[in-house]
Structure 1
Amino acid sequence: MRPREVEYRESDDAAPVEMLAALFEARGWAFEITAEDELAGEVLGSWAKYQLKAIWRSEDNVLQLLCLPDIRVTQDKRQQAYELLALVNEQMWLGHFDIWSNGSVLLYRHGALLGDEGLLSIDQAQALVETAIDECDRFYPAFQFVLWGDKSPRSALESALVDAAGEA
């Protein structure tokens, strides 16, 4: 993935994909603009390397941000994973977790309505990306506990939230 040379001041707003490109470049994160209205990149979280994808829908002025922690849900764990999803999503204020029916991939998804101008500030871009990474980091252990540790969904969530509360 190639970085792009884009520079913005904190007071500037820009088209969402361009602003996210500037943020990724400033942070030294690998990214690629895959289409005029899409960006794909990688970010190292606390538990894993996450794939991030941003999709801009200008007709709705909505920026959809997807964060994929590279977790696949096998058929035999699907019921427990969906139960955990419901418990996890109750804990969230922004975005939600889902399992794509095509490929059984776990993902975090957030749609941000940007208003009539359809512009994104660097602060908004940073908040959207950091929230996605933080939420994936916060709940990654719970999914690991269910999918590979054979814990119940409720027990996995409780364990993950206790561990997260203890981190400094």
Structure 2
Amino acid sequence: MTSPLSEFQGNDDAAPVDMLAALFEARGWSIEELSDDEITGEVQGSWAKFQLRGIWRAEDNVLQLVCIPDIRVAQDKRGAAQELLALINEQMWLGHFDMWSNGGVIIYRHGTLLPDDGMLSLRQAQALVETAVDECDRFYPAFQFVLWGDKAPRDALDAAMVDAIGEA
């Protein structure tokens, strides 16, 4: 049986949604193609399952990757969560975290501008997905410390960063 990625070996590039679909399938993740321009799947992170969503905007040549760690912020915790988001985003080089105003869901988003041909390489796809999952894993404990442990945002981030540094 051939791998879904076998057709993309070497320097082959593909349409972004097709490449992400092949990558998700090769990794054994659940996958649903919502349209020609949108795909969703689920991956197990270190702390929880994350929903990954790739959205292609051909008119802008932008692929947006969204990772949703299934963290919902209660109304009474939104101020602390917003403060934590600001502190976390200061640490980010790629992508950022947001909280949807409707429902208080925490998400990680990263938009990638692709070349004029709108093609995505396997390496790019892997890097985008791995970065999204890694960032959600890295900061998941900080959100839990604020939302469930009632820690102050700075203390929660400091504790999460110490934990992340100490893991082997």
Q: TM-score range by the shorter chain?
A: over 0.9
2:109 aligned partner: 109
Deviation per residue, 1:37-94 (Å, 9 max, x gap) = 0000000000000001110000000000100000001100000000000000000000
The CA deviation at 1:23 is 0.6
Identity of matched residues, %: 73
Indicate the residue corresponding to 2:29 in structure 1: 29
Question: What is the DSSP-based 3-state SS (H/G/I as helix, E as strand, rest coil) of the residue aligned with 2:50?
Answer: strand
SS of 2:8 mapped into structure 1: coil
CA distance in 1, matches of 2:38, 2:44: 20
What is the correspondence of 1:31-110 to structure 2 with a 5 Å cutoff?
Answer: 31-110=31-110
In structure 2, give the amino acid aligned to 1:158.
D
Partner of 1:150: 150
Residue ranges of structure 2 left out of the alignment (5+ in a row): none
The residue matched to 1:28 in structure 2 has which SS?
coil
Structure 2 distance, partners of 1:115, 1:11, is 15
Aligned to 1:18: 18
| Distance apart, 1:10 and its partner CA | 3.1
Q: Deviations over 1:84-139 (max 9, x none)?
A: 00000000000000001121100000000012111000000000000000000000
Rounded Cα–Cα distance in structure 1 between residues aligned with 2:122 and 2:115: 15
How many residues are aligned here? 165
Q: Distance in 1 between matches of 2:110 and 2:102?
A: 19
Distance in 2 between the 1:140 and 1:121 partners? 29
Off by >4 Å, runs of 4+ in structure 1 = none
Residues 10 and 121, structure 1, Cα contact 8 Å, conserved in 2: no
How far did 1:32 drift?
A: 1.1
What TM-score do you get using the length of structure 1 for normalisation?
0.96
Q: Does 1:128 align with 2:128?
A: yes
CA contact 1:10–1:123 (8 Å) conserved in 2: no
Which SS does the other structure have where 1:112 is aligned?
strand
- Residue deviations 1:133-164 (CA, integer Å, cap 9, x gap): 00000000000000000000000000000000
> Mean Cα displacement is larger for which, 132-141 or 21-30?
21-30
Structure 1: segments with no counterpart, 5+ residues = none
Q: Secondary structure in 1 aligned to 2:65? A: strand
CA RMSD of aligned residues (A): 1.2
Equivalent position of 2:139 in the other structure: 139
